[in-house]
Amino acid sequence: MWIAHHCLVALLLLLCPHLVWSGLPDPPLGTGEHADAWKPDPMHEYWDPANHHRPETETMAGIFPGEVCLECHAQITPGIVKDWRNSGHARAQQPVLCPACHGEDHQKLVFPTHQTCGNCHPQRLAEMEEEKKYGFPSHALAMERAVDAKHFADKPKAEVTACLQCHSVGSKCDSCHTRHRFDPAEARRPEACITCHSGPPHPDDDSYFASAHGQKYLEEGASWSWDKPLKKGNYPAPGCAYCHMREGKHQVADKAVWKFGIREINPRTAENVIKRKRWQETCADCHPAPVALSFFNALDAERKAAWNLLYRVEGLLKSLRSQDLLRPAASERPPYPMDRIARLFPRARIGFFEGQASAFYNVSAIERDYFELWYFDNLAAYKGMAHQAPAFQRRFAERMHQSAQQIENQAKRLSATGPHTPSNSMDLKSIWLDGEYTRFNRDHN
Residues 299 and 437 occupy one common structural domain: yes
How many Å apart are CA 37 and CA 441, to the nearest integer? 13
How many Å apart are CA 208 and CA 184, to the nearest integer? 21
* The domain boundary residue, chosen from 252, 273, 304: 252
Number of domains in the chain: 2
Residues 306 and 208 occupy one common structural domain: no
The two counts, helices (H) then strands (E), for the chain are: 26, 0
How many Å apart are CA 219 and CA 233, to the nearest integer? 19
Q: What is the pLDDT of residue 337?
A: 74
Q: Does residue 402 lie within any of the structural domains?
A: yes
Q: What is the pLDDT of residue 420?
A: 62
How is 299-323 classified by DSSP, letter by letter? HHHHHHHHHHHHHHHHHHHHHHHHT
* The domain boundary residue, chosen from 252, 267, 299: 252
* The domain boundary residue, chosen from 194, 224, 252: 252
Q: Give SS3 for 391.
A: helix
Residues 428 and 321 occupy one common structural domain: yes
How many Å apart are CA 264 and CA 305, to the nearest integer? 11
How many Å apart are CA 78 and CA 438, to the nearest integer? 46
Range list of H helices, 1-76? 2-15, 44-47, 49-52, 66-76
Query: Residue 229: CB partners within 8 Å, gap ≥ 6?
Result: 247, 248
User: For residue 222, how far is the Cα from the chain centroid?
Assistant: 29
Residues 424 and 320 occupy one common structural domain: yes
Q: Does residue 135 lie within any of the structural domains?
A: no
Signed CA dihedral, 168, 173, 176, 180: sign only? negative
Q: Does residue 21 lie within any of the structural domains?
A: no
Q: What is the pLDDT of residues 62-111, one digit of tens each?
A: 999 999 999 999 999 999 999 999 999 999 999 999 999 999 999 999 99
Residues 316 and 248 occupy one common structural domain: no
Q: What is the pLDDT of residue 329?
A: 86
Query: Residue 282: CB partners within 8 Å, gap ≥ 6?
Result: 243, 246, 255
Q: Does residue 352 lie within any of the structural domains?
A: yes
What is the pTM for the complete model shown?
0.86
User: For residue 246, how far is the Cα from the chain centroid?
Assistant: 22
Q: Does residue 188 lie within any of the structural domains?
A: yes
How many Å apart are CA 296 and CA 7, to the nearest integer? 55
Q: What is the pLDDT of residue 356?
A: 62
Rounded-to-5 percentages of helix, strand, coil across the chain? 60, 0, 40
Residues 304 and 381 occupy one common structural domain: yes
- Interior CA angle at 256 toward 253 and 257, to 5°? 150
Q: Does residue 140 lie within any of the structural domains?
A: no
- What's the alpha-carbon Rg for the chain, to the nearest Å? 26
Q: Which of 357, 356, 335 is nearest to 346 (CA)?
A: 335
Residues 434 and 377 occupy one common structural domain: yes
Phi/psi at 357 (5° precision): -65, -30
Residues in the chain, pLDDT under 50: 1-28, 423
Q: What is the pLDDT of residues 376-424, one digit of tens each?
A: 999 999 999 999 999 999 999 999 999 999 999 999 999 988 776 554 5
Residues 427 and 367 occupy one common structural domain: yes
Residue 113 pairs in a beta bridge with none
Residues 418 and 333 occupy one common structural domain: yes
User: Under a CB-based contact definition with an 8 Å cutoff, are residues 122 and 90 in contact?
Assistant: no
Q: Give SS3 for 105.
A: strand
Cα dihedral: 422, 423, 426, 428 (round 10): -20
To which H or E segment does residue 157 belong?
helix 157-160
Q: What is the pLDDT of residue 425?
A: 60
User: Under a CB-based contact definition with an 8 Å cutoff, are residues 151 and 160 in contact?
Assistant: yes
Residues 296 and 232 occupy one common structural domain: no
User: For residue 138, how far is the Cα from the chain centroid?
Assistant: 8
Q: Which domain holds residue 212?
A: 183-252
Alpha-carbon distances, residue 394 vs 174, 262, 376, 410 (angstroms): 36, 18, 14, 24
